[in-house]
Amino acid sequence: MKQRRQGKGVVYLVGAGPSDAELITVKGKRLMEEADVIVYDRLVGSSILSYGNNEAEYIDVGKRAGFHPIPQEEINKILAAEAEKGGKIVRLKGGDPLVFGRGAEEAEYLNAQGIAFEIVPGITSAVSVPAYLGIPVTHRDMASSFHVVTAHKKDGSFPDISYDALVKGGGTLVFLMGVHTVKDVAEGLLKSNMPPETPAAVLERGTTARQRKIKGTIADIARKALEEKIQSPAIILVGQVAGEEQMEWYDKRPLAGKKFVVTRPREQKDKLSALLREKGAEVLEAPTIRIVPIEENPALDEALEKIADYSWLVFTSPTGVRIFRDYLKKHSIDNRKLSHLKFAVIGQGTAEKMREWGFSPDLMPEVYDSRHLAEELALQVGKNEKILLPRARMGSRELTEILERAGIQTADIPLYDTCYESLPFVDPEKEFGEGISDYAVFTSSSTVRGFVHAAPDLDFGRVTALCIGEKTEEEARKAGMVTYTARRADIESLVLLAEEMEKQ
């Protein structure tokens, strides 16, 4: 946990947006990365929570319709108490904190306590959810205004709504938090002389992989919502725009409607997550391992002092390249001392990391795994040449065993440790046991082991695992998962595998 700064802290009331991880504001994301404490409610998407500081404390104050485990008054006190300890306190709220989000109540309480706060607006579900489901809340030909109405009062009861005024005002009507009040809303509008044929829709779990739209008219939408067993969170939308048919876009992408749990370490997840999201997937970033560099490394120091004795430098992961490069920089070792070396890498991702460093690999096997890398090296490394192999402490023995049988001198030096990690807001048993997520994506055997460690009670037969290579698949299959393997051991092939799965 982070060491907090002395003195009173600042509370940031941050709108997280509707749920899609990429709909939080730049400022909101930055504050999460800097936060000492993150206080969040149930409408905040778990994918957004993964932006949080690795050392932050997470406090769940989630409230469900009809069930309030932590009253608002208690949440106010939690915010004040955490601020008294110092640091940055992010109060993360679904949508916008001031659009029926009780942000005003929290701000008023903090002000009364003399605690500094800031308000960071977010994208409200009133406009974003309809947009994701192909409905514009305004349209020059159908609606020149829209009205946002809450379907619940502060105490949870049904509010006093002037349906006459809403009907006379025209435009689009958006009722938030209304999953249990569809019947009351429809009856209220009909009693105020809204034409029964007026288009209406109920929009469930908008901007997530499980979003859906139930369309009808104000006369039959309540019956349809009941028949379809609509669940919270959902909004009710009434008006001519609810009948719009030309703006559907979300489901046209190849991975739309699917949720992926990405288990890569925090430092490596961005590219994979970005490619999946580009194809329309919802992504939950849930690192199952953490990379810990070995800070004091006498064996590596000795090898670097005698670097002239080596002919090859071999890397088996992008992480290895990054940590080795950082080690040289930290110890002020000039890259030119490596100029006589040849470089071998296990695959394209590692090769890209090498090129970022300014070096081009001399050897990369056709098949990206330890066995093929070792066999290629055995063919190309001379009898009097030595290999320096800096990598994970628990690296594959297969590579070094093949090199040993070939009589090649290899200095296998631990560069970093791989530790298990789990995030407090990620529940693998819920994600896969309840069918919320469709796939778990694994990029190494260690990510599989970390996933298994984080979910000891999960029936792994319910997990469909997309694996980057044979060793990773072997580990997932051993745990009892349903496994599929990419044609090549790279990120692009993993995403292609996901697309091929959805075409079947």
Give the active site residues: 41, 63, 177
Please answer whether residues 117 and 12 qualify as being in contact, where contact means their C-beta atoms are separated by less than 8 angstroms. Answer: yes
How far is Cα 465 from Cα 357, in angstroms, rounded to an integer? 32
DSSP 3-state assignment of 360?
coil
Residue 477 burial (CB count, 10 A): 16
88: helix, coil or strand?
strand
User: CA angle, corner 23, sides to 18 and 28, nearest 5?
Assistant: 100
377 closest CA partner among 352, 408, 353: 408
Say if strands 386-392 and 409-420 run parallel, antiparallel, or are unpaired. Answer: parallel
For 80, the token pair is: 């004040």
CA pair distance 410, 399, nearest whole angstrom:
10
Give strand pairing partners of 10. Answer: 88
Is the omega angle on the peptide bond into residue 233 within 30 degrees of 0, that is, cis?
yes
Of 306, 374, 330, the closest CA to residue 363 belongs to 374
Tokens found for residue 404: 């040993």
**Nearest-angstrom CA–CA distance, 441 and 279:** 15
- Reading the block at residue 138, the tokens are 């305004």
Rounded Cα–Cα distance for residues 35 and 38 (Å): 7
| C-alpha to C-alpha distance for 487 and 466, rounded to whole angstroms | 11
Residue closest to 154 by CA, chosen among 63, 18, 39:
63
CB atoms within 10 A of CB 292: 12
485 Cβ contact list (under 8 Å, min separation 6):
466, 467, 468, 469, 470, 472, 473, 497
Single out the residue of 42, 46, 44 nearest to residue 69, CA to CA: 42
Tokens standing for residue 7: 């003195």
Side-chain-side CA neighbours of residue 110 (13 Å): 27
Distance CA 252, CA 270 (A): 23
Q: Can you say whether the dihedral through the CA atoms of 285, 124, 208, 78 is positive or negative?
A: positive
**Alpha helices, H only, 279-369:** 298-305, 318-330, 348-357
Token output for 388: 């320096």
DSSP 321: H
Could you tell me if 471 and 396 are in contact, meaning their C-beta atoms sit under 8 angstroms apart?
yes
Beta strand 199-204 with 212-217: parallel, antiparallel or unpaired?
antiparallel
Structure tokens belonging to residue 486: 């990419």
